[in-house]
Amino acid sequence: MLQHPTIASRVSLLAGFFGLAAGVLLAAPSASAADTGTQGNQTASAPPRPATLFLIGDSTVKNGSGKGDGGLWGWGQVLQSHFDLNRLVVENRALGGRSSRTYLTEGLWAKTLDQIQPGDYVLMQFGHNDGGKLFESDRPRASLPGNGDDVREGTVVMTGKHQTVHSYGWYLRKYIAETKQKGATPIVLSPIPRDQWREGHVVRAGGDYGQWAKDAAAQAGADFVDLNTIVADRYDETGQAEVQATYFTPTDHTHTSEAGAKLNAACVVAGIRGLNDHDLKQFLLPPSNEPAARLDFGVAEPEAGFTGLNEAVAYSDEHGYGFLNTSKLTFPSGDRAGSVSSDAEFMLSIIVPDRNHLVRVTFGSPTRPSATSVECELRRRMTDEVRLQAGQFETKEFLVNTRTKVLPHGKQVRLKPREEESESVAWDSRLSLRFYGENPSVAKLEVLPAPAVPTVYLLGDSTVADQYVAPWASWGQKLPRYFGSNAAVANHSESGETIAASWSRGRCDKILYSVQPGDWLLIQFGHNDMKSKRDDAVQRYREDLRRLVVAARERGAAPVLVTSMERKSGIEQDTLGAYPQTMRDLAAEEQIPLIDLHARSRELYRVLGSRVSDIFQDGTHHNDLGAEMLAACVVDGIRANLPGLAELLTDAEPVRPQHGR
C-alpha cells in the first residue's frame, strides 16, 4: 500500500479535543455520510450564551439597512470584528434619523430593553438629530438642550398627539437607569464629529452634546467614552483633505464611508480599552497591528519582548492563550534556550483577530532529539518535518489565515451545525496550532500581524475543504505548505456545498468583503451541483460562477476556475457530466486561468493503476496521501497557467505516486 513518509492514518487530536470541548460525540465517518458531507453522527449540549453588546443610536452607528447602501456605513456595522464572537455578540439596534428622544417615543428602546439580559452591555450614542424643531416640521425630533430636568409640553403637528419633551441628558439618564435595572452595563459615547472644519481643525462637540453626554453619564453612574474627541484627534492628525477623500463622500458631511466607519469603530475600541478595570475589555480581540503572542518556552528569563512560559498553562480566555492538552508536556531548559516538548502531539491555542498571521516557530529541544511537524486550525499542513538533534534549533515561518463568521452589515455567514461544533476551530477567534512527530519540541513561538501579504482564497466542496478527522483529507488543506511565508491560504470551502449555497449562506460575501487587490480566488464546484434535478441546473451553475468571477475582478482579485477531480469510478467513464466542460467554457469566455484538475486527476489515477484505491477514503473523497497528490496536481496547474501566483510557491517537495514504490 502507498504511504506518505511522514503521514499516518489517525484520528486527529484536533477533532478529539474540540469534539469533547463542545460536548460532541464523534463517530467514525462512513462512506455514505462522507459523500454527502456529513461525517458521523453528532449530539451536542447547548453552549453557554454569549454576552450581547447592544448599540443604540442614529445613522452614524447604523446607516440605512446596514448593508453599506450608497457607500455609507455606520461604525456599529463593523464593530463585531473587534470582539470575540464566541463570547460576545454585537447587536446593532441603532436606526437612522433617530434622536435620544425619538428612539424612546417610537418604541425602539422598549423593544431593545426587552431583549437585554443580565451581563449584557449597552453602548449609546446620540446627538446628531437632537437639534431642530420640537413639535413643528416633518421631523419633530429635537430634545431640549442640556442635561436638566426641565420639560416642554406641546402637540406634534404631524400627528396631533401631545408630547412631553425632556432634555438630551434626561433621555440618556433614562437609558442608563433602565439598562442597570436589567443587570446590564451602560456606556455613554459622545457623538462622532461631522466633516466640518474651522481653521484647519475639525469642529468638536465639547461645548454641547459631548459635554452633556459626559455629564449625564456622571450623574447616572455610567462609564463614558469621549468618542468625539478620540475621532477628532485622528481627523486632525490625518488632515482635512485626506479625511474628506477617504472617510466621507463628496455630498455627505455626516455619514462616513466604509473606511470611515472602520476608523470610528477602532476609535470606539480605543475608548473601551481606556476605561479603568472595565470587564467589557475581556471580550476584545488583540489589536490588529500588534503581535497576538510572543512566547519563550522553558526559560527562567525570557527574551526581551517575549512572555516566558515554563509550565503547562491550560487555555483560558483570560490568558488569551494556552495548551489544549497538558498532561504530557515538559519544559526542559539548557544553557542557550529551553523548549516545550512532549512524547505525544500537543496543541496550543491563541486568541487572534480575523486576519492573516505570520507564525514564526523555533523548533528544537536542549536535551532531546526531536522531529516536529505543524498543522493549523482544521489540520492544515503548514510545514515539512523538522528533525533536529539535542541542542539544535531551527526557525521556520509560515502564514496562517484565521476568520470568523462576521459580515460587515450585522449579518453572519450561515454555518452548518457541524461548523458550529466539530469544525468550530475553523471559525472561532483563535489560532490553533498542532505540533506532532517524534518528541515534538518548540523553543519559541511568535504570532505577528501580516496585513500586506497576498491571500489565496479557496471556495469549493468537501473535496477542497479542511477535513477535521484523519484520514479524510482534501487538497485545500495541503496547499499552505507550498506557499510558506509568501502567501496565506484562506480555505472557505465546506462539505456538501454548491456554488448556489455558497452565495445563499454568505460564504461568497465573506470572501468578497475580505479580498484585497492582488489576491487570488480558486473556485472548484461540481460534485454536489450536479445532484440538482432542475432543468436549468447547469445554466444556473454557470451564472453563479460568473457572478463570483465578476465580483472578484471588481475588487482587484484574480479569479481562477478549477474543474472538479474525478471520482474513483471515473478513470475511463466520466461521472461529472457537463460540469467540468461548463467550467472550461466559462474560463475561456471570461479569459481567466483554468486549472483542469478533472483531467489531471484522471491522469494521476491511471498512473496509480491498481493502487488507486490506496488514495481514496470512499468513492469520492481522499485520504491524506490522495489529498497530497491532488495538491501536487493543483500546484502543477499553478506553475503551468498562473505565472504570477507561481512566483509565490516555495520549493516544498510535492508528493508523487513514486513515493509509494
- The active-site residue, picked from 252, 574, 585, 614, is 252
Catalytic status, residue 255:
yes
Q: Angle at which helices 579-590 and 537-554 pack, to 10 degrees?
A: 40
Measured distance between the N- and C-terminal CA atoms of the chain, rounded to whole angstroms: 9
Which CATH number describes the domain made up of 51-283? 3.40.50.1110
Given 3.40.50.2300, 3.40.190.10, 2.60.120.430, 3.30.1220.10, which CATH number is that of 285-452?
2.60.120.430
Q: Is the pLDDT of residue 357 over 80?
A: yes
Structure confidence at residue 75 as a pLDDT band (50, 70, 90) = very high
- Is residue 285 a contact partner of residue 353, using CB atoms and an 8 Å limit? yes
Q: Is the pLDDT of residue 68 over 60?
A: yes
> Which residue(s) pair with 449 in the sheet?
357
- Nine-digit cell string for 556: 482587484
- The active-site residue, picked from 12, 35, 58, 59, is 59
| Domain map (residue ranges) of the chain | 1-47+453-661, 51-283, 285-452
Residues 6 or more apart whose CB falls under 8 angstroms from that of 478 comprise 381, 627, 628, 630, 631
Above pLDDT 70, what percent of the chain?
A: 92
One DSSP character per residue, 64-94 reads: TTSS-GGG-B-GGGG-GGGB-TTTEEEEE--
3-state secondary structure of 185: strand
User: Cα 507 to chain center, whole Å?
Assistant: 11
Tell whether omega for the bond before 287 is within 30 degrees of 0, i.e. cis. no
Give the lowest-confidence range in 191-205, 265-279, 308-322, 441-455.
308-322
Q: Is the pLDDT of residue 4 over 90?
A: no
CA angle 545, 550, 553 (to 5 degrees): 125
Q: Is the pLDDT of residue 7 over 70?
A: no
Catalytic status, residue 252:
yes
- The active-site residue, picked from 255, 357, 492, 598, is 255
Q: Is the pLDDT of residue 660 over 90?
A: no
Q: pLDDT tens digit string along 418-457?
A: 999 999 999 998 999 999 999 999 999 999 999 899 999 9
- Is residue 559 a contact partner of residue 495, using CB atoms and an 8 Å limit? no
Above pLDDT 90, what percent of the chain?
A: 82
Catalytic status, residue 278:
no
Quote the CA–CA distance of 98 and 139 in Å, as a whole number. Answer: 10
- Do 1-47+453-661 and 285-452 fold alike per CATH? no
Supply the pLDDT for residue 205: 92
- Is residue 403 a contact partner of residue 354, using CB atoms and an 8 Å limit? yes
Q: Is the pLDDT of residue 44 over 80?
A: no
3-state secondary structure of 20: helix
Q: Which class is 1-47+453-661 in CATH?
A: alpha beta
Q: Is the pLDDT of residue 93 over 60?
A: yes
CA dihedral over 462, 465, 470, 471, signed as positive or negative: positive
3-state secondary structure of 207: coil
To the nearest whole number, what is the mean pLDDT of the chain?
91
Residue type, 233: D
Q: pLDDT tens digit string along 363-374?
A: 999 999 999 999
Q: Look at residues 159, 46, 145 and name the one whose alpha carbon lies nearest to residue 100.
A: 145
Give the lowest-confidence range in 16-20, 85-89, 93-97, 199-203.
16-20
> Which residue(s) pair with 330 in the sheet?
341
3-state secondary structure of 557: coil
The phi, psi pair for 108, rounded to 5°, reads -70, -40
Structure confidence at residue 47 as a pLDDT band (50, 70, 90) = low
Quote the CA–CA distance of 661 and 656 in Å, as a whole number. Answer: 10
Q: Look at residues 191, 279, 276, 188 and name the one whose alpha carbon lies nearest to residue 225.
A: 188
Residue bearing the bigger pLDDT, 19 or 596: 596
CA dihedral over 466, 652, 490, 339, signed as positive or negative: positive
Quote the CA–CA distance of 281 and 417 in Å, as a whole number. Answer: 29
Quote the CA–CA distance of 64 and 94 in Å, as a whole number. Answer: 10
Supply the pLDDT for residue 408: 75
- Nine-digit cell string for 73: 456605513
